[in-house]
Structure formats: structure tokens, C-alpha cells
Amino acid sequence: MPTPIGNLSDITLRGIEVLRSADVIWCEDTRHTRKLLSHYSIGGKLLRSYHMANERQALPRLFDEAQVKDWKVALVTDGGMPGIADPGFLAIREAYRRKIPVSVLPGPNAALTALVASGLPCDRFIFEGFMPRKGLLSYLSAFQQEERTVIWYESPHRIVRTINALADILGAARWAAVVRELSKIYEEVRRGPLGRLRSDIQANPPRGEVVLLLSGVSYQEPLYV
């Protein structure tokens, strides 16, 4: 089930119900999940660690508890939808292989929230997760003729380098948006042509969790002052 990406109020009533009824909750960081449970006065829950580094090793125990012990198992990440740039895909696939019922709850997702907030076209888009650490220039060159809006998760420590590379490879006129700290007190959307956005980001680099969006090659809009 998805969990809030920032504001703890961004959880569904059904999500709270699932957390309360689960026999065990598998989560990225037990400390993070405990804060969420405490916020909703949910105590006495058995928490298990499930993250990218131990995902494969954790699966046998997860399914032993689901099948042998017949427990109700909940899988959450630190924020957002499991499986979207977070662990979860392997567990879902294995559940189907074992013919175990799976219920996926709708809820918070940083990529889609940022897409709507960006003011860029939402009708056709692709999600690329995190950019590769190596071969960035050749990777970004593949988007020179991309017509869809592109969404990435990006580190605030790399965003200046990434915006510079995008402007150099794709041109200063291509529109983009940098969305940070969604649903939190310092939520911010910066948008405009890459040339202008580059100057802004260099002068005042964003902090916190960042979503970067790039318009399709044919997209244009009036440049507001």
C-alpha cells in the first residue's frame, strides 16, 4: 500500500484500516514506518525490514508468514507507491506465482503529483525513475526527439549538473520543471525554458526531494514575465 510522501494526512481511510488489521508490516525503514503508525495511534505491530538491498533474501520469510502462518501481510515503502522506484515488484510477481491474492491500494505518488503540479502536458508521459550515474550525456541524447513529458526522480546534489546537461544537449528553449518537497511546508515548483531554469537553479539550488520533468520536443507556451 502507498504511504504519504510528506504530509502524514495524505493517507486513505482504507490505508489506515489495512495498517491496523495487518499481522505484519514489511517496510523500507522500520523507524520511518513507526512514526506513521504512531501518528495514527496504531501500536503493537510487528515490523519487518524490506528494502532494495535485502529484497530477494526477504521474500522466503515474507511468503512463509503469508502462507504457512496465514497472516495478513502489508507491504509499504517510506513514501509513495511500492514498486515505483522502490522495492515491491518482486514481491508482487512472486505472490502471483504462488497464487496469493494481492490488493494494491491507490494513494500518494510523487511522480504523478509532480506531473500535474508542473503545468506540463499530462496526456502522454513516461517515467524514467533515477538517471544513470554514468553515461549521462548519451542517455539524455535519446530524448532529443521525445514528444512525451518525461519524469525523473533526482538528487538535489546532482540537479545543477543535470539541468546543465539537459540545456546543453536538448537546447535552452526546451521547457522543464523542477518540483521539490511535495506536500511539505517548503513545496515548490520552478518551471520554464531550460536556459532560464538553469540560471535559477545555479543561483539557488533546490533542497529536499526533487522531481524533474522535461516537456516534449514540440511543446511551447507563452513565456510569462
Return the SS3 of 149: strand
- pLDDT number for residue 92: 96
On the question of pLDDT at 224 being above 70, the answer is no
CB 212 within 8 A of CB 110: no
Q: What is the mean pLDDT of the chain?
A: 95
* Superfamily per CATH, domain 13-97: Tetrapyrrole methylase, N-terminal domain (3.40.1010.10)
% of the chain beyond a pLDDT of 90: 97
- pLDDT number for residue 201: 96
Query: What does the pLDDT look like over 138-173, one tens digit per residue?
Result: 999 999 999 999 999 999 999 999 999 999 999 999
Mean pLDDT of 195-223: 94
Mean pLDDT of 45-55: 96
- pLDDT number for residue 214: 98
Mean pLDDT of 115-143: 96
- pLDDT number for residue 222: 77
- pLDDT number for residue 223: 66
Strand 175-180 with 24-27, pairing: unpaired
| CA–CA dist 57, 53 (Å, integer) | 9
Mean pLDDT of 175-196: 97
Name the pLDDT band for 55 (thresholds 50, 70, 90): very high
State which CATH number among 3.40.50.150, 3.30.950.10, 3.30.70.270, 3.40.50.12780 fits the domain covering 110-214.
Answer: 3.30.950.10
- pLDDT number for residue 225: 52
| CA–CA dist 127, 35 (Å, integer) | 29
Q: In which order are the strands placed within the sheet that holds 46-49?
A: 46-49, 24-27, 73-75
Mean pLDDT of 208-223: 93
CB 15 within 8 A of CB 105: yes
Query: What does the pLDDT look like over 3-32, one tens digit per residue?
Result: 999 999 999 999 999 999 999 999 999 999
- pLDDT number for residue 156: 94
> Which residues, in sequence order, are bridge partners of residue 189?
179
Domain ranges of the chain: 13-97, 110-214
